[in-house]
Amino acid sequence: MRMIKINKEALKEATKRARIKSVLEAFEHIVELAENSNLDDIYFNKASYYIRYASRKLALSPMQTVLLALFVDRSENNRILISEIASYAGCRTTKILRLSSEIDSLENKHYLRASRSLNKLSYRVPDAVLKALKDNQPYIHTIEPITDLQAFFDKFNDMMKEKNDNETTYVAVLQQTEEYLSEIKDSYFVRSLKRLNISDENRLLFIFMAHLFVENNDDHISFWDIDDLYDDAKIPNWCKSELRGHSSALFENNLIENVNEDGMARSDCFKLTEYAKSDVLSELNLTIKANARESLIKFDSFPEKKLIYNPSERSQITELSSILSADRFREIQSRLCNAGMRTGFCCLFYGSPGTGKTETVYQIARATGRDILRVDVDKIKSCWVGESEQNMKKLFDRYRSICKDSPLAPILLFNEADAILGVRLEGAAQAVDKMENSIQNIILQEMESLEGIMIATTNLTGNLDKAFDRRFLYKIQFNRPTADARSQIWQTMLPSLPENDAQTLASRFDLSGGEIENITRKYTVNAILSGQDKIDLQSIIEICRNERISDSVRTKIGFRI
């Protein structure tokens, strides 16, 4: 009876083997038999047929085949730990660690990708490997040749994806980049970098910054971005020190410059120079912004702020925000188009300084999910004849291109646009006056054909050119806040300020929202330095008195006659 039972089991096993027609089928049996097997000799005897089938098919050793099968069985997880494999096989983690050379071989053959984030080792099975196994084929890693600069940056982008997943190291990226560069050694890009004679580390840093510009059009590269290049997301001290101190060879060779915001250079933010974009990277035929200094700002970079308005302003801003929401805006544009009307929205925010014009644009952008293309008119102007007009045209070309490629049109913001909204000069004879008129004419023409959203902010209150007046669909005047609004602003800025104190400050000082913000910031700094927790009304009143330079007593310099 026992012989009959054994023969039946043997027959059953032989039938099962005869049905094996693919690597994945063999893997299924290998994994099933491996559970709590300790991967001992008995296991290998039981699974020998399946292991032999798969190892021959994939040209792997028996142990590599078993390990790969166990990893593939967990391939839905992109962070497979050695301890998980050991736990399933019913053995100590140290036993799997002793097989590290076999796992390393699988990694070298690209069957596995390892992540070594903060010394925590994990693995994943690439999708390309799974596809090959589904096709019952061994995975063969092929390397496409790099023929031009675009192919180089495509490869570099793939490397940075692996770097972000901690599947490669800074040193490996450095070495691989040098190999990629050698494949396009005759390119103008490589010859230009060699001519500059910078170190390998600085060359890689520049290539990384260029990669951010090429892939993401990123003109706002911070230390947070640069972190990604280095292991454990930590910039070496020498690198940060050189960038902050402008002693980096990238500054010396005019490859990068600091980002300017509101006329101030940010020591922690960088971008490629126009020389780097138009000359060193010329083979990519990138759309260069020339001398226009606009920058695309992501809507989620603006912190949420509660803004207090007078009643008339609040209703108009609420209405505009509703119109600019994605679904509503598409609907309105469609209806305007069907009616044969212009579909662009041109808006003007005007009023005294510090009344919240620019901040309102930021909050509308944040609420509607629209990025901002911010324009500083003074930076577009050039001393060269005709160049200012070209820069303005390129600006609108750039905006149209972004609108075309974006699911949501950004806001074109002309911030502090006093210089372009004033009355045009008739019979202008001076070159500067002619240039001003030409720029205004270009903007007027572009406003006619605009299909997106343009908002201009200005302090002008009385000398707005009538041609602009007609083209702005929404014109919102930002008045100085009323006493009631000032009281709300005080309590918003200083939540612990009693209501009666807020009303006292609001009634005694006719301040704008911007001035109140400055005062509360200064008061908060003083309170931190003095260690004072309670609100000191008299200290706030004293700062209010000193807020306006024009109101303070100033000693005149010079001779009195």
Q: What is the CATH number of the domain that holds 521?
A: 1.10.8
Over residues 297-308, the pLDDT tens digits come to 889 888 888 888
Query: Count of domains in the chain?
Result: 4
- How far apart CA 305 and CA 308 sit, in angstroms, is 10
Q: Are residues 249 and 171 in the same domain?
A: yes
The domain boundary, picked from 134, 165, 193, lies at: 134
pLDDT value, residue 294: 42
* pLDDT above 60 for 551: no
What is the mean predicted confidence (pLDDT) over 150-169?
Answer: 89
Q: Are residues 512 and 542 in the same domain?
A: yes
139 located within any domain: no
Lowest mean pLDDT across 79-83, 171-175, 258-262: 258-262
pLDDT value, residue 207: 96
Q: What is the CATH number of the domain that holds 337?
A: 3.40.50.300
306 located within any domain: no
* pLDDT above 90 for 132: yes
Lowest mean pLDDT across 60-64, 280-284, 429-433: 429-433
* pLDDT above 50 for 557: no
120 located within any domain: yes
What is the mean predicted confidence (pLDDT) over 416-427?
Answer: 70
Tokens of 260: 């300017």
- Return the HEC string of 396-458: HHHHHHHHHHCCCCCEEEECCCHHHHECCCCCCCCHHHHHHHHHHHHHHHHHHHCCCEEEEEE
417 located within any domain: yes
Over residues 44-99, the pLDDT tens digits come to 999 999 999 999 999 999 999 999 999 999 998 888 999 999 999 999 999 999 99
Q: Are residues 396 and 366 in the same domain?
A: yes
| Backbone φ, ψ for residue 296 (5° rounding) | -85, 120
Q: Are residues 277 and 359 in the same domain?
A: no
Tokens of 492: 């918003």
Highest-scoring range by mean pLDDT, 10-19, 118-127, 474-483: 474-483
Q: Are residues 154 and 262 in the same domain?
A: yes
- Burial of residue 404 (CB within 10 Å: 0-12, 13-18, 19+) is exposed
- How far apart CA 136 and CA 60 sit, in angstroms, is 14
Share of the chain above pLDDT 90, in %: 45
pLDDT value, residue 219: 84
Q: Are residues 78 and 45 in the same domain?
A: yes
Mean pLDDT of the chain: 85
* pLDDT above 80 for 388: no
Q: Are residues 332 and 451 in the same domain?
A: yes
pTM assigned to the model: 0.47
56 located within any domain: yes
- How far apart CA 255 and CA 196 sit, in angstroms, is 10
CB 71 within 8 A of CB 125: yes
Q: Are residues 369 and 467 in the same domain?
A: yes
Q: How many residues does the chain have?
A: 561
Q: Which domain holds residue 117?
A: 2-134
430 located within any domain: yes
Q: Could you tell me the pLDDT band of residue 291, with boundaries at 50, 70 and 90?
A: very low
Q: Are residues 113 and 163 in the same domain?
A: no
- How far apart CA 53 and CA 21 sit, in angstroms, is 9
Q: Are residues 327 and 418 in the same domain?
A: yes
pLDDT value, residue 288: 42
Q: Are residues 11 and 111 in the same domain?
A: yes
Q: Are residues 354 and 451 in the same domain?
A: yes
155 located within any domain: yes
488 located within any domain: yes
